[in-house]
Structure 1
Amino acid sequence: MNDIQPSPIAVHAGGRIPSDGQCRAWWDEYGMYEHIKEHSELVAGVATTLAQMAADKGLGNPDGLPRDDFVQSVRAAGLLHDLGKTWSIVHGGNHSQLGAAWAMELTRNPRIAQGVVHHVHWPGELDAENFFLPLAVIYADKRVKHDRIVSLSERFEDLFARYGHTERSRALVRRSHDQGKAIEHLFSTILGEEIHEYLFDSRRLVR
């Protein structure tokens, strides 16, 4: 996908913010592998914690959603971020683009679809006020290694080992690492917490 500057997206009145149960039902409908479900649960938990912290400070909600709706929209994007992963493993293709197309069809919610399509890389400015949701999902995904919450360093050591077989692939992993660190710094600044010093557990931050 080309690196183009996204524009803030207003959630249409008819856009759905699906419940956890609905997201999990879609996992089954689209044949998601069990290990991807476990990964998605943890990603959603990290993203939820960040959304709760942002909501407490009145940040990152450009659509003016009620607090619970804002938090659930971020959580739902985390739960759905790998919706296209199983299909791409079996048949090939870009799992984030495919998953976003499905998420948009299912929810008619462009904010959630934006979080899915950009969960690997954010192509624009790191603007947490207008784009908190996709940035939270990107960061959450970078903190989950398979079925464990880990530091960015441990996560990217694994990514380098698995995908860093060519100079191009290594450059892409480095780019992703650098963006993850920049998002981590951004969240630490605006949320008033040293995010890198914390573990995420049970939807809350603990030392």
Structure 2
Amino acid sequence: MWFDDDGWLRADWVARMPSPNYDTRPLGTRIDTVVVHCISLPERGRSKQYIEDLFLNRLDTSLHPSFGELHGLHVSSHFLIDRDGSVTQFVSADNRAWHAGISCAMDRQNFNHFSIGIELLGDVYSPFEPAQMDRLQLLIVELKKTYPLKYILAHSDIAPGRKTDPGPFFEWKGLRKSMTYELAL
């Protein structure tokens, strides 16, 4: 497996669903950070269909009461890892996906500029599947072959008080060095 010259991962375990919700990174940006998220629609749901629909701007917000707050929202992530470990790529890793929102940490702001966003299908209330964690590690290893990744942060690390994901059940062991944001892989 490898990344094409245009930032798309070629692997039999990665599906492509290009999202319109991206733009170019600022010229000269060094992509050195992974931001880990979790997502479920509706909350505690386990279907990736609504997430795909959200990232592709085709979510019918009348299908669930909680979807109303998503009306007109344009968001994306570079990758989504399903409960079974399968991966969908929505945005080229070379481009800026709209996953971090207002963000700051480590004296840096606007993490969309220099990070790769990876969503795990799940929520902050329950553990993630071993297949997801295994695939996350493999994905990061592949990303590091092309991008100079140095840091890995939670969405909650870069948007404290606004975001809580991936939550207390996310296992950082093996992903980052103890007590730091530095990648351990």
Q: Same fold (TM over 0.5)?
A: no
Structure 1 or 2: larger strand share? Answer: 2
TM-score (normalised: structure 1): 0.32
TM-score (normalised: structure 2): 0.35
